[in-house]
Amino acid sequence: MNNNTLDKAKEILKKYNQEHLLCLYNELSDEEKEKLVNQILKINFEEILTLYKNSFKEDVFSLNDISPLEHFEKSSFTQSELYYYSSLGEQEIKNGNYAVVTMAGGQGTRLGYKGPKGTYMLDLEPNKKSLFQIMCEDIKNANKKYNIEISWYIMTSEENDITTKNFFEINNYFDYPKDKIKFFTQGKLPLINTEGKLILQEPYLIKEASNGNGNVFNSMLKHKIIEDLENQNIKWVFLGGIDNVLLKNVDPLLLGLTIATENQVASKSIFKKSPLEKTAVYCSKLGKPSIFYYENIDLETSEKKDLNGKYLYREANILSHLMSLEAIKKVSNITLPYHRAYKKNAFVNLEGVKEVPSKPNTFKFENFIFDAFSYFDDMLLLRVNADEEFAPIKDFTGIYNPDTAKEKYINYHLNTDK
Ligand code: UTP
């Protein structure tokens, strides 16, 4: 290890009050020493510590800025309307203008499963299927129905990229055309503990983690996914998460409605049944599509209805989004705001001992995908039936656990598969 480089690293740590990161340095091998010092030189301490400091500033929220965002309800359409819009969407899909992005770069800290969440095996007795397989089967069904091969992009994190790719390899890409699948990694940021200190994942490694699903646009630009989509003449991109086993990756109705209403951005919502449920809902903020965080929604606001008796703020986000490639290009250059999340992360303490916390201990900074929608004047919002389209796996003890997902998955497929 070059002494100059080590001195430079020490200087940076001193400036940002992070000298503890070298506390186990003397016990490291030469290779490990080099790795740690290089990581210190690469990390943008100014950025992460500013994010940390600013995250304690009181959020200025005014109900006066908020108004309802109009939405359609799938259940209100007549058969002929459903047919009309779906045919419109179908035509675009059949023309090969549609691609899918699966955002699978999350840490899945609540589930606490070792490995990428997409590799989690859902027990569908007698078979087990990984979340990746479930997602793949959904896209394969569309390929079969429309006689096409949809380009499928999977966003991973630096942490889970290799394991994810290996998982696809050993599973023979679930018989999906291999050349139609592309992986790309998203950005990362260091984690910070409650004392404002970065933490060690290993004695030679500072813990960094993916920086939120909203980083998808910057990452698509950086890894030339946008260019790849352009080269294929793709016009529409569906963006969804990995953990909803009822996610409809290819829905001609959503696409047809988006085209017919001349929108560039569309999302699906489900009705938020309980007024004070901890779920964000769609709204309009200062005239732009936005998200209304549950922390700001009181009972009175949540119970508000229009003159026709329809709730104004009950359209819950389910991470099911459609955007035109033009819209993605527009936001791919923008730095979206960071939100602070409090998560459970194991770390190596100053004595070199690994500690596994039983409750959240670290702050993580994340971009949220829906913040990109505020860059558009309008968007299409379509309310769908939660029993048909929303069965996420978030943890083992809450309402979104593997058992509830399995039940909904089985019920749905019993009713729809022949
Ligand atoms: P969640 O917000 O539920 O986060 O992600 P998570 O990482 O899966 O789980 P927790 O909060 O740590 O328990 C919703 C979707 O967004 C993806 C996830 O993979 C999931 O499909 N995501 C999340 C990313 O792709 N990148 C991220 O940085 C965060």
* Domains with residue ranges and CATH for the chain: 1-42 (no CATH), 43-414 (3.90.550.10)
Q: How far apart are CA 346 and CA 112, in angstroms?
A: 11
373 touches 289 (CB < 8 A)? yes
Q: How far apart are CA 49 and CA 51, in angstroms?
A: 5
CA of residue 401 to ligand 1 center, whole Å: 15
Would you say the CB of residue 106 lies under 6 angstroms from ligand 1?
yes
Q: What is the CA radius of gyration of the chain?
A: 23
Would you say the CB of residue 105 lies under 6 angstroms from ligand 1?
yes
What confidence score (pLDDT) does residue 60 get? 85
| 165 HSE (CA, 13 A, CB side) | 11
Q: How far apart are CA 133 and CA 174, in angstroms?
A: 6
Q: How far apart are CA 71 and CA 409, in angstroms?
A: 26
CA of residue 183 to ligand 1 center, whole Å: 16
Q: What is the pLDDT of residues 319-361, one digit of tens each?
A: 999 999 999 999 999 999 999 999 999 999 999 999 999 999 9
| C-alpha to C-alpha distances, 100 to 186, 235, 263, 323, nearest whole angstrom | 16, 11, 18, 10
What confidence score (pLDDT) does residue 59 get? 79
389 touches 318 (CB < 8 A)? yes
349 touches 287 (CB < 8 A)? no
CA of residue 247 to ligand 1 center, whole Å: 15
Q: How far apart are CA 293 and CA 340, in angstroms?
A: 13
E strand or H helix at 298: none
CA of residue 107 to ligand 1 center, whole Å: 6
Cβ neighbors of 356 (< 8 A, separation 6 or more) are: 346
What confidence score (pLDDT) does residue 11 get? 97
238 touches 98 (CB < 8 A)? yes
Best mutation site among 160, 208, 213, 401 for ligand 1 pocket (most ligand atoms within 8 Å of CB): 213
10 Å Cβ neighbour count for 86? 18
Low-confidence ranges of the chain (pLDDT < 50): none
The string of DSSP letters for 56-92 reads TSPP---GGGEEPPP-EEGGGS-HHHHHHHHHHHHHH
Would you say the CB of residue 343 lies under 6 angstroms from ligand 1?
yes
Would you say the CB of residue 240 lies under 6 angstroms from ligand 1?
no
Q: What is the pLDDT of residues 150-165, one digit of tens each?
A: 999 999 999 999 999 9
Would you say the CB of residue 43 lies under 6 angstroms from ligand 1?
no
Would you say the CB of residue 210 lies under 6 angstroms from ligand 1?
yes
130 touches 171 (CB < 8 A)? yes
Q: How far apart are CA 80 and CA 266, in angstroms?
A: 22
40 touches 206 (CB < 8 A)? yes
The protein residue with its alpha carbon nearest to ligand 1, atom 20, reads 241
CA of residue 213 to ligand 1 center, whole Å: 7
The torsion angles phi and psi of 176, rounded to 5 degrees, stand at -85, 145
CA of residue 212 to ligand 1 center, whole Å: 7
Residue 43 DSSP code: S
CA of residue 104 to ligand 1 center, whole Å: 7
The torsion angles phi and psi of 148, rounded to 5 degrees, stand at -135, 175
Best mutation site among 100, 102, 103 for ligand 1 pocket (most ligand atoms within 8 Å of CB): 103
E strand or H helix at 318: strand 315-324
Amino acid sitting at position 28: L
- Torsion sign, CA atoms 212, 330, 218, 155: positive
CA of residue 47 to ligand 1 center, whole Å: 22
What confidence score (pLDDT) does residue 1 get? 67
What confidence score (pLDDT) does residue 126 get? 85
Would you say the CB of residue 155 lies under 6 angstroms from ligand 1?
yes
Residue 400 DSSP code: S
- Structure tokens, 389: 């389209």
What confidence score (pLDDT) does residue 125 get? 85
Would you say the CB of residue 117 lies under 6 angstroms from ligand 1?
yes
Q: How far apart are CA 110 and CA 343, in angstroms?
A: 8
The protein residue with its alpha carbon nearest to ligand 1, atom 17, reads 106
Would you say the CB of residue 320 lies under 6 angstroms from ligand 1?
no
CA of residue 365 to ligand 1 center, whole Å: 12
CA of residue 131 to ligand 1 center, whole Å: 13
Q: How far apart are CA 20 and CA 349, in angstroms?
A: 10
Q: How far apart are CA 135 and CA 164, in angstroms?
A: 14
10 Å Cβ neighbour count for 63? 12
